[in-house]
Structure 1
Amino acid sequence: MSFAVHQLRLFLCAVQFLTRAPTPALREFEPDWISRSARYFPLVGLLVGALCAAVFWAASQLWSGWLPALLAIAAGVLVTGAFHEDGLADTADGLGGGSTPERRLEIMKDSRIGTYGALALGLVLALKAASLATLPPALGAWTLIAAHAAGRGAAVLAMRVLTYVRDIDAGKWKPAPSDLSFWEVLAALTIAALPLALSPGGVVLGGLATGAGLALLLALAARRLLGGYTGDVLGAVEQLFELGFTLGVAASLAWAAGQVSEH
């Protein structure tokens, strides 16, 4: 198998793992490809973000306010099958409802959603929609692309710095994620940074700082309360980075507008 063909297979594996998008069947599939494909998670995020951005921009030509933002978020949920949102809800239920690491992991395995999960999911989606609704069409479209790519980059970084804590047989991710190499993580972060190079104005700093801050807080909480990460925690990291990035961009824009009005 040539290098290019293998990389294409890993990319298709990442698409299959993270989305509901139709892809060709992978011949001679090896379970370890899921972990090896993590380098392309941000590239999948770029594609998902581009779809959401197209929906947001098109809807903004017809409506203003919340509707374009809600439609864009709905498009992302549809194409991913709520993959990351499910992880956010399970993580909130586990971290909020358990008193020991074992009990928290047990709660996270339960497919039913609890109070903490419902509240976390509702609040995060509402805050993302509210902040996105404050942005003009072009900036909002860029924000969606950048947030989706960088959010998945943050999840890959969490895989590198945290320990996987699920039992291999009990976890949803089989086989258990193997250790990512420095070069795999670097490749993922390089892809995640591509839309940031096209940032309009100085909003990227606010987005990155807020997104990284929320993702870091969750990673630290997972390390303290669980001992490391699970697949659900990675989904929650991605969602909180998306939320923080969108909030940071909206805050930067509002601050810049205030500075202009003062002068």
Structure 2
Amino acid sequence: MRAAATAIRFLTRLPVPGGAETSETFAQEIRRALWLFPLVGAGIGAATALALWLADLALPFALAVLVALAIEARLTGALHEDALADLCDGLGGGRTPEDVLRILKDSRIGAFGALGLGSGVALRAGGLMAMPDPAQAMIVLVVSGALGRLLMLAVMAAVPPVPGREGLGASVASSADWKGLGIAALLAAPVLLLGAFADARAMVVACILGVVFLFWYRGLLRRRIGGSTGDAIGAAAYVGIVLATLAFAMER
């Protein structure tokens, strides 16, 4: 229960009691909490799907999608959106690894960050709007929430943290491994089966896109900054959500 509370508190702004309260207990609980990230992601997707259903009762579907995504950003504190913007700023504006890492520490958003974040949100919103009906969009929100966090864990396992870099992202990434990723996938199996039931071909496409992205992203991070950071990991989750959404949109 403590691991579950830690995972929820890490990925959302919900003040769930029972999670790790100190850096020492966080280090102890985060390894088990990582296994639950895809399930928490599915739960975030379910909450967003509920918001979409309620908004669709009063608004045109396109507006309902935007309202639901705004509510999700409030629920998560725009955790992954912020990481995506920071990473785009760093990779777009930095010429050397030192430049990139310096820009990643800057909380201000630049042109590359604004374009990257805007493009990501637009692609996700457009993919949801392209669904044949609200019910399919609701399923995709749940499934993509799980797949995005699975890709996040895969990046943690495949790309070691930047040497010598400290922080929350590095401490979380150092706890991930391939065994944990396998356990997380097994725990999220019911959600993945839901996606396969809704559209098996789209699920296959989403998984292929995720694997291709992982190999490309691994090379990019190693070449540009020598490893992963918290922003790089968080951005991967949002990219995974977008790729899964587009996979289902293409197969409609």
2:13 is aligned with 1:20? yes
Tell me what 2:181 maps to. 185
1:169-202, Cα deviation, whole Å (9 max, x unpaired)? 4x34374632434432211122344322123133
1:83 and 1:238 map into 2 onto residues whose CA distance is 10
Runs of 4 or more above 6 Å deviation: none
**For residue 19 of structure 1, what is the amino acid of its counterpart?**
T
Cα drift, residue 18 of structure 1: 1.1
C-alpha contact (below 8 Å) 2:92/2:112 kept by paired residues:
yes
For 1:69-80, list aligned pairs within 5 A: 69-80=65-76
Tell me what 2:136 maps to. 139
**For residue 62 of structure 1, what is the amino acid of its counterpart?**
A
1:237 and 1:54 map into 2 onto residues whose CA distance is 25
Percent of pairs with identical residues: 36
Tell me what 2:246 maps to. 247
Assess, with a 3 A threshold, how the Cα gap between structure 1 residues 37 and 176 changes in structure 2: closer, same or farther: closer
C-alpha contact (below 8 Å) 1:208/1:248 kept by paired residues:
no
Q: Which has the larger radius of gyration?
A: 1
Assess, with a 3 A threshold, how the Cα gap between structure 1 residues 65 and 216 changes in structure 2: closer, same or farther: farther
Cα drift, residue 31 of structure 1: 3.1
For 1:31-42, list aligned pairs within 5 A: 31-32=26-27, 33-42=29-38
2:233 is aligned with 1:234? yes
2:210 and 2:171 map into 1 onto residues whose CA distance is 29
For 1:78-117, list aligned pairs within 5 A: 78-117=74-113
2:101 and 2:113 map into 1 onto residues whose CA distance is 14
Tell me what 1:3 maps to. none
C-alpha contact (below 8 Å) 2:42/2:142 kept by paired residues:
yes
CA RMSD across the alignment = 2.0
1:162 and 1:211 map into 2 onto residues whose CA distance is 15
C-alpha contact (below 8 Å) 2:30/2:172 kept by paired residues:
no
Unaligned runs of 5+ in 1: 1-7, 254-263
**For residue 39 of structure 2, what is the amino acid of its counterpart?**
L
* TM-score, structure 1 normalization: 0.85
For 1:203-218, list aligned pairs within 5 A: 203-218=202-217
2:96 and 2:178 map into 1 onto residues whose CA distance is 32
1:43 and 1:189 map into 2 onto residues whose CA distance is 9
Instruction: Say how many residue pairs are matched.
Output: 245
Cα drift, residue 56 of structure 1: 1.5
Unaligned runs of 5+ in 2: none
Assess, with a 3 A threshold, how the Cα gap between structure 1 residues 69 and 208 changes in structure 2: closer, same or farther: farther
**For residue 249 of structure 1, what is the amino acid of its counterpart?**
F
1:222 and 1:111 map into 2 onto residues whose CA distance is 20
C-alpha contact (below 8 Å) 1:39/1:187 kept by paired residues:
yes
1:166 and 1:83 map into 2 onto residues whose CA distance is 24
**For residue 60 of structure 1, what is the amino acid of its counterpart?**
D
Cα drift, residue 126 of structure 1: 1.0
Assess, with a 3 A threshold, how the Cα gap between structure 1 residues 59 and 67 changes in structure 2: closer, same or farther: same
Q: Which secondary structure state, in structure 1, belongs to the residue aligned with residue 38 of structure 2?
A: helix
2:96 and 2:82 map into 1 onto residues whose CA distance is 22
Cα drift, residue 44 of structure 1: 1.1
Assess, with a 3 A threshold, how the Cα gap between structure 1 residues 116 and 35 changes in structure 2: closer, same or farther: farther
Tell me what 1:256 maps to. none
Q: Which secondary structure state, in structure 2, belongs to the residue aligned with residue 31 of structure 1?
A: helix
1:26 and 1:49 map into 2 onto residues whose CA distance is 21
C-alpha contact (below 8 Å) 2:88/2:116 kept by paired residues:
yes
Matching residue within 167, 177, 199 for 1:201: 199
Assess, with a 3 A threshold, how the Cα gap between structure 1 residues 211 and 184 changes in structure 2: closer, same or farther: closer
